[in-house]
Amino acid sequence: MKLRATLWLLLLISTPAVCPVADASPPIRQTSTSWQLDLPDHPVSRRISLRSEFKGKQTFGTLIGPGCICRIWVTGNFISRKDILRIYFDGETIPSVEAPLPDFFGLMHNLTQPGKNYQINTPFLSVKPKLGMTCYLPMPFAKGARIEVESPEGSIVYMMVDWHDYPSQQLKEKMRFRARWRRESPVADFADDFIMLDAAGPGRLIGFVYAVDMLESRHKMRWSHGGADNIYIDGLGDQPSFLRGIGGEDTFGASHGGADYVPQTFLYSDMPYYIQKDAKGDRQKLVGYRFFAKDEVHFNKSLHIRFGARAHDISSTAYWYSEKPVRPYFKMPPIKQRLPQTKILRGEYDLPLPDCGSWWLAGPFTKVESLPMRDGKFDPKRSFLDRAWKKRDSIRGFVEFNHVLRPKASNANSPTLDGWAVAYCKLEAQSEMTAELRLAWDDHLILKLNDDPSVDLGSQPYIRARTLKVKLLKGTNKLQVWLSNQVGVTRGAWNFAFRATAPNGRIILPRSE
């Protein structure tokens, strides 16, 4: 028996080990955090590790594609909201990522002193004690990527970039990672909401980090409540959609006001930072995040996000994927107006949004009334049943009544009015034609074109699209859209999406003038 065991041992030792060739390795399967990106199966792991003490602009990595950034880790000394992170993909001149360095990682309010920062623990962003910041969101590129930090006053930055190289392979994925930061202080109280994101499709929303520093007592104005998240999807597409929250804290999975909320950090949504600014607990400072990993938000034409707000200091970082390059909607302000406790008003650094037409709005009314004409002319200076006309631009194809027909500001969650409202515009036709109107709405909608009989399109519980053919006269056509509003399953959403298409496929934009 001993001889037999010895022979078996000699046989095992003498058997040569076979090393499999690289082509025989199994493909790397995507995980639940890969955001359904179409990446090559055989990556080669690479890493950049760099410490740099610098002032001005410093490039931390120039990567040759095809590849995909998998992880970015940063720490350092003297890091603050003064420092800007920019990432460029595939030779683009407009950065795909542009945000203050800490804010990109979800560390808002310039809380960057090591040991004083709050912590984040998600599959996508991580912030540790003593300012260890990590991003795990995959960032594919076909030709190359460049990572740059701008520090106007100087800082010491440690950075590691872990990425996958795909030598002799082809990257089929068309989506590129995007991120943008925006700040406004104070936001116009209970007006047309804080603008968080505007993007062209096709693409996919990743999520956002949202920060509020209350400038007024919560007894005077609720922490961020002029509503919650308002997500406008594909307003000029075939199937528009609108997602509306209930209260601001509910967006992040919290509840019941959050005034005594214990800061926590969960996988996909939470509020990792929440403090009382004074002994009375009248004013709070907070941060919430939301990632759409399990409830994906896709868009084909456009994505626009606003957050209902009161007159506080508000900032956000938004993350998404898109095929088209970033169309900047906010210009990075100078250092002073990036920092807390400084004023930065709507419009100072905001860039024009795409022209999607404009309308005149009036209401609310208890019932549908005939639009009054005098000598066949519409007069926006003349009140309609004691309601003034208000001109508003379309939001990527959406007409939003809640921005102009709001009740008196209060501490109620997402307050809204009941009743009917009317939107009026002109459609210019180069010749007599049969055009296609696509409307998407919830509640009850009635359409009236020129002197034709009105068309009652009925009620819907949530926004869905419907198309109909209409006859347009050569020249100016006058269009009315009446929409009712009730606080139903969409929490008082009071908007509709509109698109007019000529027989040749040209979009006819609605005009208020």
Give the pLDDT confidence score for residue 377 in this predicted structure. Answer: 76
Residue 386: both structure tokens together = 């004691």
Confidence of residue 93 (pLDDT cuts 50, 70, 90): very high
Whether 44-338 and 358-511 share one fold: the answer is yes
Q: What is the pLDDT of residue 410?
A: 77
Confidence of residue 111 (pLDDT cuts 50, 70, 90): very high
The arithmetic mean of pLDDT across residues 23-33, rounded, is 48
Look at residue 441 in the predicted model and tell me its pLDDT. 97
**Is the predicted pLDDT of residue 403 greater than 80, yes or no?**
yes
Q: In the predicted model, what is the mean pLDDT of residues 456-477?
A: 96
Those residues whose C-beta lies under 8 Å from the C-beta of residue 81, and which sit 6 or more positions away, are 100, 101, 102, 103, 110, 112, 338, 339
Query: Distance (Å, rounded) from C-alpha 242 to C-alpha 305?
Result: 10
Asked whether the predicted pLDDT for residue 493 surpasses 80, the reply is yes
Bridge partners of residue 439, in order along the sequence: 466, 498
Judge whether residue 400 has pLDDT over 80: yes
Task: Tell the CATH superfamily of the 44-338 domain.
Answer: Protein of unknown function DUF2961 (2.60.120.1390)
Q: What is the pTM of this model?
A: 0.93
Q: CB atoms < 10 A from the CB of 91, how many?
A: 10
Q: Give the pLDDT mean for 105-120.
A: 94
404 and 424 Cβ atoms separated by less than 8 Å: no
Average pLDDT taken over every residue of the chain? 91
Tell me which residue of 311, 304, 403, 421 sits closest to 362, measured CA to CA. Answer: 421
Helix (H, G, I), strand (E, B) or coil at 248: helix
pLDDT recorded at residue 20 = 38
pLDDT in tens, 315-360: 999 999 999 999 999 999 999 999 999 999 999 999 999 999 999 9
> Residue 370 has what pLDDT?
81
Least reliable range by pLDDT among 259-263, 340-344, 412-416:
412-416
Q: What is the pLDDT of residue 116?
A: 85
pLDDT of residue 267: 95
CATH number of 358-511: 2.60.120.380
Taking only the tens place, the pLDDT of each residue in 149-194 is 999 999 999 999 999 999 999 999 999 999 999 999 999 999 999 9
pLDDT at 439: 98
Give the tens place of pLDDT for each residue, 201-242. 999 999 999 999 999 888 888 777 778 999 999 999 999 999
Q: Which residue has the tokens 């007069």?
A: 379
The DSSP element (H or E) to which 120 belongs, if any, is: strand 120-121
Most confidently modeled range among 16-25, 243-252, 330-339 = 330-339
When pLDDT is averaged across residues 83-104 and rounded to a whole number, the result is: 98
**Are residues 306 and 147 in contact, defined by beta-carbon separation less than 8 angstroms?**
no
Question: For the residues 62-90, what does the mean pLDDT come to?
Answer: 97
pLDDT of residue 19 exceeding 60, the answer is no
Instruction: For strands 97-100 and 176-184, give the pairing.
Output: parallel
Q: Is the pLDDT confidence value at 498 over 60?
A: yes
pLDDT at 279 > cutoff 90 = no
Residue 24: the pLDDT is 44
Helix (H, G, I), strand (E, B) or coil at 249: helix
Q: Which pLDDT band holds residue 9 (cuts at 50, 70, 90)?
A: very low
The pLDDT, as a whole number, for residue 492 is 84
pLDDT in tens, 423-441: 999 999 999 999 999 999 9
pLDDT for the residue numbered 489? 81
Average pLDDT over residues 73-80: 96
Residue 154 has a CB neighbour count (10 Å cut-off) of 13
Q: What pLDDT sits at residue 5?
A: 45
* 33 pLDDT tier (thresholds 50, 70, 90): low
pLDDT of residue 259: 67
Is 409's pLDDT higher than 70?
A: yes
Give the type of residue at 269.
Answer: S
Q: Evaluate if residue 47 carries a pLDDT over 70.
A: yes
pLDDT at 6 over 90: no
Q: Which residue has the higher pLDDT, 220 or 98?
A: 98
Query: Which positions ≥6 away from 368 have C-beta within 8 Å?
Result: 420, 446, 482
Domain limits of the chain? 44-338, 358-511
pLDDT band at 281 (very low <50, low <70, confident <90, very high): confident
| pLDDT single digits (tens) 366-392 | 999 887 765 567 889 998 888 999 999
Percent of the chain with pLDDT over 90: 78
**pLDDT exceeds cutoff 60 at 29:** no
pLDDT at 288 over 80: yes
For residue 378, what pLDDT is reported?
A: 85
47-81 burial code (b ≥16 CB/10 A, e <16): ebeeeeeeeeebebbebebbbbbbbbbbbbeebbb
